[in-house]
Amino acid sequence: MTADAGVSAISAREAEVLAAVADHLTNAEIAERLFISVRTVESHVSSLLRKLQVDDRRELANAAEDYLTVPATRWPDRGPSSSLPTPLTSFVGRESEASALVAALTEQRLVTAIGPGGVGKTRLALRVARDVEAHFPDGVWFVDLVSVTDPTLTATALALVLGLNESQGRSIEEVVTGWLAPRTALLVLDNCEHVLDGVGVLVERLLAGCPSLTVLATSRARLLLPFERAFPVPGLSVEPHPDGRADAVELFLSRAAAGGATVADHDLPRVVSLCRGLDGMALAIELAAARLPTLGLDGLESGLADRLVLLTGGSRLDDRHRSLRSTLDWSYRLLDEPDRALLRRLSVFAGPFAAASAAEVLAGWAPLGSPEEPVPSILARLADHSLLVTATTPGGTRYRVLETIRQYGAALVEDAGETAELQARHLAWILAAARRMLPPVMDGPEGDAWRADFDVISAETRQALPRARYVPDQREPAYQVSLLLAELSFDRGRPGEAQRRYELAAELAPDDAAAASALRLAAGAAEGRQFGNEALRLRQLAAEAALRSGDRTGAALELARTAELINRGPGIIATLPPEGEVRRLLDRARPLADGDLAAESRILTAAAFDADERDPATVDLVERAMELARAAGDPMGESAALDMRCTIHTAHGEPAEALACAVLRTDLLTRVPVTADSALEFFDAFQMGSACAVAAGDLRAAHRLGEGLCDLPFYREEDHLATSRLIVVALLSGAWDEAVRLSVLFERGWERAGRPIAGNLSPAPYAAATVHALRGDDVRRQHWKDVSATLATPGRPRETIHFGDFFDALVLLHRGQAGDAVTLLAEDPEEFVNHYNGMWRPWYASAWAEAAVLAGRPDAHERVARAVPLVAGNPIAEAVVRRASGLAAGANDESGRAGLVAAAAELRRLGARYQWFRTLVMLGGADRERGEQELAALGATPMAWA
């Protein structure tokens, strides 16, 4: 097995374990390094022994050397800096045109290569894009608009290529503009002619809002923008170059040679004449050259003579259009009937397809499918004639219809009256193919193949569904496809795509009950991607659909979950609903519940989230909600009630109890499948669990629960959501290089998601800012603080949560500015009486006490005493307060030094490396020297200490 194969076959976590085995660490040491349990390490080691086909740990360590040469990253960069497709054939000629087009791009920010279909615009644009790629550090992005049927969807097509999703409160056009605005990039927009209006509006706005963006478009007509530079693409030259043959002749000879034919020197004038008769049209020349082995020059000349009869007057541009159509007609007439039928029917495919797929779509449809002429044989023959192009992929040979030929074939299908049947067959094939993809496979080579197959089906679906939704006979299979593709999209890690497909399924649903189910799943997908306003909208639509279907309890559940989310998830809601909305929703839900235990449970939970966390009556609501959920056999409802129980514990200053409650949630959810409907419970259980573990000072549990987010299938392509909790843990544990690496992924994911407002994510970039500050980089610090501010939920400023105060105090104390830290930490920690600032009460209180001691405040001893009960349940904060007490006693006091020594030992045991190293510096002597060395290894600036 090769190193590359090994890395692709093992997971990122296994790669980390493998690296630790290579360092000859024990399982316990690996668990400590990676903040995972020993049992988990044992499981990974067993898996590695099996996958790498070795017998023992010693052989595993030796085998690791072959694999560790390939970098393993838990969250790889999923976004290429260039999306240029790889040409299937070599580029011939056009040196002067390429140079001129490059020059045009250096002078103008919008250049449109115009010319008729088949003249070679796309190939020339790709050649030039590769030539200038180095001048665009933020990437060259190729967008093929062929499959865009609605001009208003051009921005969506561009967003798909860039990997962006829509954002709360912003259109997809605004998201794309915002992402491109700071970048120096080139967009290549191919095949614009059928969506000129949409492209024109989009390009004008992009260029206005993105000062370093350049656009190269290809079209049969100008975009008609005032700042556009039109670049006519002529046919290939038939006049010889001073140093060689004409471009058209070179193309003909090259493609003929690829088909096994040669042309004698004395026949070259005939080739020149033939190319001239074809107007130098690249596609026409390629088609003719592919016929040379079977027809010879005599046959080609005869066919050309017949074709030229069809040309009558008109402009030169019209002649070229007609010459191309005539060449296609001529090539089509030369085919046998099965070949003709297959060629025109292949126009239904939007992208590359396998021979087996074509056979499945067209099975039993005369005149195809005879034993003597199976579909794969005809495909190979069409490829030999250059009517199809082939590509070798990891999944096997794939065929693709050139766009000009695809459009030609679609017209022939229409003429033959085959459109309805062809589209129905294509849709049925998509449905069958999607069903075969269940259950999803995500790991190893099989996972790579599954994702590749999904991407093919998804692309075909994007073309099939818009036309099927308006055909009465196709609405039912279109509904089934939408529903199934939504589920697969969610499994693929694309909750935004899942949401859109579920919404389309609701539109196509055969009845209101089915529509309510699809809308409920769409709301769940929106919650999963943390777009709270979308979830609120969709849940209310689901409730209305349920009511229309007669499902009163279903409507009650949706209304209750809507009301619950308003107070449960303000951190994922960009615009909070008006005051009184929760009460209005619950007043509607209560009479509809009809005694249903699950609905009654969710109503009680929503009421609890709307109540005072410190009111004993709220605890009674939660306990009753949990009882009803258990009686109903509803673990999701029980999890929601437990979430409120966690918030009550944090509001009461009980972080250890909150963590125990959060862990109970994750255990409970092992009984629940991961679907769009359960997405909120899963991501919230791990987010809340990691936050509670931080509040409790259990960094290992915080890391383990944070990693649970990364393992959620619907976060595979949502790096900002997957990494958010781990960045905070990495700061507190001293894993600062990891924090920086994860923060880069966080920002990339957040930008691709459209820079959504999500206040619950704001601690992550603030933690990244703190790492940079402790390393002395205040420019990067400010950048990350700005990101955190952008994420903050309107109406709930970060200052009321106080994580920023604690992080900033860390920096001030490191820099010896204790007085400034005292000023910053002005609010008494006893005032933290709700769950969102209760999460940070122990950390804040520990810094509040220590800052007073280091600043020499007269109330320092009092503050230390007041902090002791406030940090209870967080052993790291307790150790810091013990350290502050020792410092207050004085460096020469035996009990004071003993307090520092004990604090250092405890902080080391708890994995709080920064605070441990800081304590070593405070101890002085040899301990100080070691502490300073360790801080330097973290990249920290020298700690200010007398």
Question: What confidence tens digit (pLDDT) does each residue in 205-222 have?
Answer: 999 889 999 999 998 778
Give 29-54 pLDDT, tens digit per residue. Answer: 676 555 455 555 666 777 777 667 77
Q: Can you list the alpha helix ranges (DSSP code H) found in 569-715?
A: 581-589, 597-609, 616-632, 635-651, 655-668, 679-695, 699-710
Asked whether residue 253 carries a pLDDT value surpassing 50, the answer given is yes
Q: Is 77 exposed, middle or buried (0-12, 13-18, 19+ CB in 10 A)?
A: exposed
Asked whether residue 793 carries a pLDDT value surpassing 60, the answer given is yes
pLDDT at 77: 36
Question: The pTM is what?
Answer: 0.75
pLDDT at 520: 98
Give the percent of the chain with pLDDT over 70. 88
pLDDT at 387: 77
359-381: average pLDDT: 83
- Torsion 815-816-818-823 (CA) sign: negative
Asked whether residue 243 carries a pLDDT value surpassing 70, the answer given is no
Asked whether residue 242 carries a pLDDT value surpassing 70, the answer given is no
Q: Which amino acid is at 294?
A: T
Asked whether residue 322 carries a pLDDT value surpassing 50, the answer given is no
More confident site: 133 or 91: 133
75 band by pLDDT with thresholds 50, 70 and 90 = very low
pLDDT at 65: 56
483-511: average pLDDT: 94
592-619: average pLDDT: 95
pLDDT at 372: 65
Asked whether residue 321 carries a pLDDT value surpassing 60, the answer given is no
836-843: average pLDDT: 90
pLDDT at 165: 72
More confident site: 798 or 262: 262
Asked whether residue 926 carries a pLDDT value surpassing 50, the answer given is yes
Residues recorded for the chain: 946
pLDDT at 331: 73
184 HSE (CA, 13 A, CB side): 6
- 434-438 contacts, C-beta under 8 A, 24 or more apart: 434/481, 434/484, 434/485, 434/488, 435/484, 437/488, 438/484, 438/487, 438/488
The answer to which of 59-63, 428-432, 841-845 has the lowest mean pLDDT is 59-63
Residues 843/767, Cβ–Cβ less than 8 Å: no
The DSSP bridge partners found for residue 187 are: 141, 215
Residues 842/880, Cβ–Cβ less than 8 Å: no
Asked whether residue 666 carries a pLDDT value surpassing 90, the answer given is yes
DSSP secondary structure string for all residues of 94-140: -HHHHHHHHHHHHH-SEEEEE--TTSSHHHHHHHHHHHHGGG-TT-E
94 HSE (CA, 13 A, CB side): 26
Instruction: With CA atoms as reference, report the closest residue to 348 among 418, 405, 400, 410.
Output: 410
Q: Is 659 exposed, middle or buried (0-12, 13-18, 19+ CB in 10 A)?
A: buried
pLDDT at 134: 86
pLDDT at 91: 61
603 band by pLDDT with thresholds 50, 70 and 90 = very high
Spatial distance between the Cα atoms of 580 and 563, rounded to a whole number of angstroms: 10
Angle 602-605-608 from CA coordinates, rounded to 5°: 155
The answer to which of 117-131, 509-523, 550-564 has the lowest mean pLDDT is 117-131
Spatial distance between the Cα atoms of 273 and 257, rounded to a whole number of angstroms: 19
Task: Map tokens 């008006």 to a residue.
Answer: 578
Q: Where are the beta strands (DSSP E) in 832-904?
A: none
The answer to which of 116-125, 251-260, 826-835 has the lowest mean pLDDT is 116-125
755-782: average pLDDT: 94
Angle 244-250-86 from CA coordinates, rounded to 5°: 120
Spatial distance between the Cα atoms of 254 and 90, rounded to a whole number of angstroms: 9
Instruction: With CA atoms as reference, report the closest residue to 350 among 220, 200, 157, 479.
Output: 157
914-933: average pLDDT: 95
Asked whether residue 311 carries a pLDDT value surpassing 80, the answer given is no
103-109: average pLDDT: 91
pLDDT at 668: 95
Instruction: With CA atoms as reference, report the closest residue to 335 among 405, 420, 281, 422.
Output: 405
The answer to which of 77-86, 607-616, 778-787 has the lowest mean pLDDT is 77-86
Spatial distance between the Cα atoms of 521 and 676, rounded to a whole number of angstroms: 5
* 608 three-class SS: helix
- Torsion 321-324-328-334 (CA) sign: positive
The mean predicted confidence, pLDDT, of the chain is 86
Give 416-467 pLDDT, tens digit per residue. Answer: 999 999 999 999 999 999 999 999 887 778 888 898 889 889 989 988 988 8
Q: Can you list the alpha helix ranges (DSSP code H) found in 368-418?
A: 375-384, 403-415
pLDDT at 171: 80
More confident site: 298 or 83: 298
901-920: average pLDDT: 96
812-840: average pLDDT: 93
Report the DSSP pairing between strands 110-114 and 213-219.
Answer: parallel
Q: What is the dihedral of CA 469, 474, 475, 478, to 10 degrees?
A: -80
